[in-house]
Each structure stands twice: as structure tokens, then as C-alpha cells.
Amino acid sequence: MLTTTTQAIRVQNCAKAARHSAVGLRSPRDWPGLFVALSLMLGCSMLHAGYSVTPLRFEFPVPAGKTHSEVIRIVNEGKEPVMVRLYTRDFRQDAHGGETESEAGAVERGCSSWLTIAPTDLTIAPGARAEARLTIAVPEPSTGTYWAFVFIEQTSKPQPKRATNKEGYSMEVLVKPRWCIRVHETVPGTEKRSGQVTDMAMSRSATDGKTRFDVEFANEGNTLLKCKGKVEIRDAKGQVVQTLPLKENGLFYVYPGGKRRVPAVCAEVLPAGTYVALAMVDIGNVDLMAGELEFEVK
């Protein structure tokens, strides 16, 4: 995963050589097209970050009391030397799948404190490749899944990006790319898979009349659940009239102790009548986790 950080912004009128702060401009109408150009420019910077990182995920199956090491590879694809720093963070996932990083120890099953990186600072010449060793030491006793992020962040000054509109206003932005590696550690032989549908809610769109379901699923075990889910809509006769995937492709992840709230939207408007929505989630066990909701369409 690649993110960017805006380090500085400078806005000026090239024709008048008058500088302004971003808040000093009365409105975007004073410089139409600049935001669009800037967005396109930043989009390109995401695709051409100047350096690349592999791999972007580690799935460790390290037993408790053992250590294991892997290599992170960084390639400078730009024309200038680049300096990067590697560091770790815990993170938590919210009900909608968003993730927030935090310091070590802030998340119950965060394992950033188990990770060491050597070296943590690198200078890479244009076209060159560098490596850093990532080592995980799993303490005893540990069971189930633990997780963390490894970040690779540029510390050298980036090349400025500039966008100019037809009135002569220009914006210069310094963008620092930051790569993120996801780390999962699952202690082999200790996994406990458990979960349940804890809530279901229905709503109808005011624009197209389509019915939407929000299904809440809780991971009550100790390991990461890779879930596949769907919602069946059954009429008063018990006939299945629509089958909807949870999320767009039916797949979602839930970390231990967490909850996910995932949507399912009807492909067609339901005619008036009484229905039952049956949510089913497959977590890799023999039995499916299910919940149901009765509702009426008038």
C-alpha cells in the first residue's frame, strides 16, 4: 500500500509575482482548474513514487518462542538519490474496514514490538536496490493471530510538483511517499475460529428505491477470519428472489475481537410484499454463521 504526505504548499500568481497562502484565496473560482490539475498531478505521483517496495505483505507462521527473518527490498526508480526510514506501528481496523495506525502496545494483538529492522535508515542511489532485514520474535505464550504495519517513508527532500491554471496561479506541493507492509503472525496450531452475525439493518434508497442491508459480523475467536458472505432474500412462500454478495465480491476480513459492518444492495427493486433476509457468512468452519431479518416492502 502506498500513501503520500503533503509537506508544503506554496501558491503564487506568476503574472503578478504576488504570493498568497492557500487560505488567502477567496475561493476555487479565483483559479479554476488548478485543483483538477493538482489532483491529476498527485495521482501521477502515486503511480510514480520514485521508489518501490517488495513484498507488501508478510504472513508469518512462527511458533511461540521462535524467531524468523525475511528481507524487504527497496528499488530507487527515480533520477535522484533517495533516503528512506523504516519503522513499525500497530494498527486497528474499524467496523467499515478503515485502519488507523498507533504506537506499540496500544492494540491488544498488535505485534510491532516483536519486530526489529536492520538497518532502519537507507540511502539508495538512482537505479540501485537496497535491502533491510525484518525479524519477528514471538514470545511465549502466544496464540492466534497478531498484526502490525512496517512503513518505509522517504526522508530526503522530494522533488516539487507544480500545477498552473490559465490565470497564472500556480501551486507547488512537496509530496513524500510512504509505503506500507502488512504483517500477520499466526501461531500454528493455536487458531480458534468463532464468530456470529450480531446485527442486521435494512434501508431503502430515496433515489432508486433499491433495498440495502447492513450486516454486522463479530470475530469472537483468536485468529484472522477471511469471510465470504451473502444475503438471500426470500418471499412469503420461502422462495429465493435475490441473492446478494456482502460487499461487492462477497469477501471481507475481520480481526480477532473486531466487528465489520458490510453492505449488500438489491440489484432490482423489490415489489410490495413480506420478505425475510437471510445473511450467511462462511468463515472456513463446517457450519455457516447466519442471521435473519423480517421486513415488508409497501
| pLDDT 10s digits, 157-184 | 877 777 676 777 777 777 788 999 999 9
Mean pLDDT of 171-200: 92
With a cut of 90, say whether residue 256 has pLDDT above it: yes
275, three cell numbers? 420478505
With a cut of 90, say whether residue 243 has pLDDT above it: yes
Radius of gyration of the CA atoms of the chain, in A = 25
With a cut of 60, say whether residue 153 has pLDDT above it: yes
The reported pLDDT for the residue numbered 104 is 92
With a cut of 50, say whether residue 66 has pLDDT above it: yes
Percent of the chain with pLDDT over 90: 67
Look at the domain 195-297 and name its fold: Immunoglobulin-like (2.60.40)
- Cα 190 versus chain centre, distance: 27
Distance CA 170, CA 225 (A): 48
> What are the percentages of helix, strand and coil residues in the chain, rounded to 5?
10, 55, 35
The reported pLDDT for the residue numbered 114 is 98
Q: How far is residue 197 from each of residues 168, 216, 221, 281, measured CA to CA in Å?
A: 57, 6, 13, 8
Say yes or no: do domains 2-187 and 195-297 share a fold. Answer: yes
- The tens digit of pLDDT for each residue in 4-28 reads 655 444 444 444 333 333 333 434 4
Distance CA 298, CA 281 (A): 29
The reported pLDDT for the residue numbered 27 is 44
CB neighbour list of residue 136: distance below 8 Å, 6 or more residues apart? 60, 62, 67, 68, 69, 111, 114, 115, 183, 185
Percent of the chain with pLDDT over 70: 83
Using 50, 70 and 90 to split pLDDT, how confident is the model at 47?
Answer: very low
Distance CA 173, CA 157 (A): 12
Distance CA 212, CA 220 (A): 26
With a cut of 50, say whether residue 254 has pLDDT above it: yes
Strand partners, 259: 218
Mean pLDDT of 230-251: 93
The reported pLDDT for the residue numbered 19 is 36
Look at the domain 2-187 and name its fold: Immunoglobulin-like (2.60.40)
DSSP string for residues in 72-130? EEEEE-SSS-EEEEEEEEEEEE-TTS-EEEE-TTSSTTB-GGGEEEE-SEEEE-TT-EE
| Predicted TM-score of the model (pTM) | 0.81
Distance CA 90, CA 83 (A): 24
- The tens digit of pLDDT for each residue in 85-130 reads 999 999 999 999 999 999 999 999 999 999 999 999 999 999 999 9
Domain-wise residue ranges, the chain = 2-187, 195-297
The reported pLDDT for the residue numbered 31 is 45
